[in-house]
A and B are shown apart, each in its own frame.
Chain A
Amino acid sequence: MTALDLKDAESFPSRRDEDWKYTDVRRHLRAAPEPSPAVGVHGAGPFFELGGEGLTFVNGAPLGVDHFTAFGDQVVRLRFVSDATGTGHGATATVGVRPGGHLTLLESHEGHGSGYVAHNRLIIQVPSQARVERIVLVDEPEDVISVTQAEVTLGEGGAFSQTVLTTGAKLQRIETRLKHPGHGAVVRIDGAYSLSDKRHADLTTEVDHVGADGLTDQLTKGVVRGEARGVFQGRIIVREGADGTDARMGHHALITSERGEVDAKPELEIYADDVSCAHGNTVGALDESALFYMEQRGLPTDEARALLTEAFLMQVVDRIGHEGARERARAWLTERL
């Protein structure tokens, strides 16, 4: 498959592409959309209060530079703002950090308007002994199509952590691909989706262990209501020679309605010896005995359900390392439950 290019309808993936089986772009988008107009920026973004440097794209156009390299210990707010109706746009941003540095990447996808198509690409460079923590909040209208693709390169002894929180869209895919060099490098790659109505969110990740003794820890959780659809595709590859790899993947989803759907495809491909890999995948309803217990103590049904759902998803938020971002993410998600 050729890389997705909004200008070329031939490049739109469909369910015939195994990796896009549950997120059929071609079905929803027959032709290349007209380009989105250049517009001004809205608001200050959900991470404004946490300070740091800003890197902003509006309808695909950078306000200033389109790349950033952090020195020492820095916070960067990366904003992908969409403000369009029925048109399409995309951008490619590059962020990195110097060896030994520490970057907190606070990324937001802020959607205004309706019916737009967004395709944003992100290249993240984490060299040896550097650390990057990426926290992504995705808030888009219910009738838009958006695809976000991140490529992460990680050096030996480096650390990359990621937490994606999303409420979905008409068709939404958030994809992260990472080559894991092992040798002391550590990866945490988490996500949570909270979907209502007819929304769709697809969290796809691929972690490719090419060096020995790499560590990967993945936790994705989701709640699906109404006719919404959650998709989790997690692939962990352990190449020949990547001995001593320790990889854990968990995906757990709640479906709270008759017509909600969750498609989960956890994959472990192991070609090395002496590895420790595990995955767990559960899809179910809220625990009825817990609900009754809570109601017996006086919590009305809706409140009990909300408290249980919130607690379920917050286990993902609790793993965010940056304290300010963690509390911001917690508040953001609470407002959207």
Chain B
Amino acid sequence: MTSRRRALTMAVALAALAAVPLAAAALNQPFYLDLFRRIMIFAIAAVSLDIILGYGGMVSLGHAAYLGIGAYAVAIPALHGLHSAWLQWPLAMALSGLAALVIGAVSLRTSGVYFIMITLAFAQMLYYVGISIEPWGGDDGMRLPGRSRLGGPLDLGDPHVFYYVVLAILAVLLLAGERVIHARFGTVIRAVKSNEARLQAIGVASFRYKLAVFVLAGAVCGLAGALLANQTEYLTPSYMHWTRSGDIMVMVILGGMGTLAGPVLGAAAFLLLENVLSAWTVHWQAILGPLLVLVVLYARGGLWSLVPGGGARDG
């Protein structure tokens, strides 16, 4: 599909998201504001995973680690009275980027199933570390002393302002992602997926590119973690639990990997499904699990491939 039609579809989707607060107000259902803000935060995390998974072919099963690090980077300064978002959010990106650098430096030396297991193991290690540090909440987690402060009229305590801040970040991410993927850097990343040996044969040091995009994805997911801590106003190590990594990966696949809009759609579908099923029965995971198996076995392109103008992967 042409980039023009893709841009149009994306614009329509973002406009629809921008209209959610109005609809929620009209229906007198403020809950939807909360739900869709959560969806957008997870969409940011899912897009960041898709950049390495869908475009780069790196099956990382430890992406929730950066979500957790981002959340800690908001909560710990807040605990010491530092509430500025201009400190917390860059810190979240820097720390999760750093963690991705260390994890990537070890795990990218391997490939295939080793890579899956190692990324999973490192994320779980951080989860156990989070559990065992009592001053930062330990197993139980802790309440966030207050939301991040952006300054000026941008008060995140106002649910609408917070909503549009998240939407703006998501929009910037999608625009920047579109640019990066079609730039030389993105071309190399996509080439890594299709044939890394050939890439090396023509003289591209692919390891550096893989590590760079791995760090980039980690940093973006760290920002999602910072937003998530603000969303829930709570910090818990379970943000890093490996089932969370699994959830984010499911969002990417459900929506359609190797596309930018797919993960957004996937995050919406996953969280809406969770919302509907859990209202219906407490044992909703007994339904979600087999559903997931069926999706993997029979529906391969993801939801985005069903959207008019969605079509094939842009890659």
Partners in one complex: no
Query: Which residues of A approach B to under 8 Å, CB–CB?
Result: none
Query: Which residues of B approach A to under 8 Å, CB–CB?
Result: none
